[in-house]
Structure 1
Amino acid sequence: MAKFNDFMIERAKADVKTIVLPEGADPRTLEAAEIILAEKIADLIIIGNEADIVASGRNLEGATIIDNTTSELRAELAEQLYEIRKNKGMTPEDAMALMDDVNYFGTMLLKTRRADGLVSGAAHSTADVLKPALRIIRTAPGTKTVSSFFMIEVPDCPYGEDGLFMFSDCGVVIQPSAEELSEIAIAAAHSFEDLVQKPARVAMLSHSTKGSAKDADADKVIEATRLAQEKAPDLAIDGELQGDAAIVPHVGESKAPGSKIAGHANVLIFPDLDAGNIAYKMAQRLAKADAFGPITQGLAMPMNDLSRGCVAYDIVGAVAITSVQAHCAGV
């Protein structure tokens, strides 16, 4: 299989989607937009001041540029936002004021099907991006928990899917309950299969393998595994497994004999955000892995949050992944 990012770009090109980039004031967004348009990865709606965007000198031919502060769409989108949120106490004046916020304006473009996905966060916090997502787009049918994942591609690695892994959750749910952890596992399995087009082999990670430790933290993972297997018997999920037992065949065979997942996992579900976030950063820095994400899962339409330390090509990759998510969701 091609490197993950290249694979996503090729899949995005095969079914071109329209993606909103709310951060037209950020130079990295415009640099990425130029690449995306030149390579025909996606159609773009860029939000920002048109004169400033044009003055950037980037070739953005084909992009739709919308200034959220002056657009004639403001009143229409504000009215629809008010209808969505009025039962939560939002007033028409509140809704109109939120049209000044590029993330709310962009999210309403997505909600009203003017676009297929949204990528933001180069210049905004995760909360700035996820709050309108949760208030407007909301969760996908049958989904209770919004979470995230990273695709981790480790060079010259025989484990996982030829060195490719999914780590989840590394960015949203701080201390998931057993119920939430089971939902994260199921969502991650589906996300892996949608993106990678290979069967997911899901390991529920712990400091314990098959009862080697007895404590509340291990019990949470054991219960989450039971729930995930019960809810999604068609998926290959096992736990609780230590990290080495999950990915190294001879260790998995020794510590969890008879498990079809132990030693062969390509999807790693961490017991809490501390573990997941630390693990992906360690893999990125110590194993020189490429880390793609955080990618959001569980929303009714794809919206993804960037790291504020991102570079332009990170945005290109996020747009490609968001486009593939939209394709898989039938958006």
Structure 2
Amino acid sequence: MELMKKIWEMAQKDKKRIVLPEGDEERTLVASEKIHKEGLAEVILVGDSEKIREKAAKLGVNLEGIEIINPETSEKTKHYVNEFYEIRKSKGMTLEKADKIVRDPLYFGTMMVKVGDAHGMVSGAVHTTGDLLRPGLQIIKTAPGVSVVSSFFIMMVPDCEYGEEGMLVFSDCAVNPNPNAEQLASIAIATADTAKALCKIDPKVAMLSFSTMGSADHELVEKVRKATEIAKELRPDLKIDGEMQLDAAIVKKVASQKAPNSPVAGNANVLIFPDLQAGNIGYKLVQRFAKAEAIGPVCQGFAKPINDLSRGCSSEDIVNVVALTAVQAQNNK
């Protein structure tokens, strides 16, 4: 895939330290060897080093050159515990609780990212999205000016004239069930910046609805309309428009009839869905019916990059998400 090839090349040019807290998981171990071999990142596995090496040996995985850190024995654990306590003491955290929590590999890995001992984290092969988001929101928190963490998919549709030769960015398809107008605007802005940084495209953002430019009135339409106004006001440098139906967003002939004065309609390459139901259904329809490659979900909006995996992911999926995370870390200011 051309896009992933480019992302691999970007990751290789400036290797970042990426922590994988599911250190003894089989697909993670297989992926770690490939990531190291391809020079995509400096991998850090979290867990019991003896168990990790034993499992790797059974799988025939070579971990030479890959760092393994055990929260139970690491000299950094005490420092992370104290830092976590300081972050959460206003919420009733005690040092005793912090010591227990930080020894969890997910929290340990998140603290590594927080203090700068790692540039990013990837998890989710055996943990849920909620398991990843919880320490992320408690410790990393959102980036300045970002009100909500969200997710995106890069959709690669074969033999497709829409978007950027079949490449489109979909958001939010995995995190926020029902964002309000302010949150939807924040998601649109973050996704535009993501499309520019990762996909190297000029983002043309369509705020999707069942209405196009006032063709229908409903509270659901009004939310998208308001979100569009907020996003335009916050980032006048971006091409964001709406509300619009999907066909008006991507089909030039339809756009010329329904939204002839829009700078986005008919040319959209970033699609912002009004809620999680629409986003999740939308990406899966395209993935199955159009036989599209769906790269993601990848998180955006955190102050530092941490990313989720599907529990049904392959080792190759992990390799690609680590590469994406490394490039996000390169772009992190």
Give the Cα–Cα distance (whole angstroms) in 2 for the partners of residues 15 and 273 of structure 1: 34
Q: Can you give the 5+ residue segments of structure 1 that lack an aligned partner in the other structure?
A: none
Higher mean C-alpha deviation, range 260-269 or range 44-53: 44-53
1:181 aligns with 2:184: yes
TM superposition score normalised by structure 1: 0.97
Give the Cα–Cα distance (whole angstroms) in 2 for the partners of residues 255 and 69 of structure 1: 61
- From 244, 251, 254, the equivalent of 2:254 is 251
Measure how far apart 1:99 and its partner are: 2.3
The one-letter amino acid of 2:84's match is L
Q: Residue 330 of structure 2 aligns with which residue?
A: 327
The one-letter amino acid of 2:22's match is E
Give the Cα–Cα distance (whole angstroms) in 1 for the partners of residues 51 and 256 of structure 2: 60
Q: Residue 42 of structure 2 aligns with which residue?
A: 43
Q: Residue 123 of structure 1 aligns with which residue?
A: 126
Measure how far apart 1:51 and its partner are: 1.6
Measure how far apart 1:241 and its partner are: 0.8
Give the Cα–Cα distance (whole angstroms) in 2 for the partners of residues 52 and 4 of structure 1: 36
The one-letter amino acid of 1:164's match is M
Contact map agreement 1:111 1:137 (CA 8 A) in 2: yes
Q: What are the Cα deviations for residues 78-110 of structure 1, in whole angstroms up to 9, with x where unaligned?
A: 111101111111000111001231100000111
Contact map agreement 1:37 1:43 (CA 8 A) in 2: yes
Give the Cα–Cα distance (whole angstroms) in 2 for the partners of residues 159 and 73 of structure 1: 49
Q: What are the Cα deviations for residues 204-233 of structure 1, in whole angstroms up to 9, with x where unaligned?
A: 000111111111111111111111111110
Give the Cα–Cα distance (whole angstroms) in 2 for the partners of residues 238 and 64 of structure 1: 46
Q: Residue 28 of structure 2 aligns with which residue?
A: 29
Give the Cα–Cα distance (whole angstroms) in 2 for the partners of residues 110 and 258 of structure 1: 45
Contact map agreement 1:22 1:48 (CA 8 A) in 2: yes
The one-letter amino acid of 1:245's match is A
TM superposition score normalised by structure 2: 0.97
SS at match of 2:307: strand
The one-letter amino acid of 2:53's match is V
SS at match of 1:304: strand
The one-letter amino acid of 1:233's match is P
SS at match of 1:136: helix
1:105 aligns with 2:108: yes
SS at match of 2:170: strand
Contact map agreement 2:204 2:264 (CA 8 A) in 1: yes
SS at match of 1:115: coil
Q: Residue 14 of structure 2 aligns with which residue?
A: 15
Q: Residue 264 of structure 1 aligns with which residue?
A: 267
Measure how far apart 1:49 and its partner are: 1.6
Measure how far apart 1:70 and its partner are: 2.5
Contact map agreement 2:84 2:102 (CA 8 A) in 1: no
Measure how far apart 1:252 and its partner are: 1.2
SS at match of 1:151: strand
Give the RMSD, CA atoms, in angstroms.
1.0
Give the Cα–Cα distance (whole angstroms) in 1 for the partners of residues 137 and 8 of structure 2: 27
Identity of aligned residues (%): 53
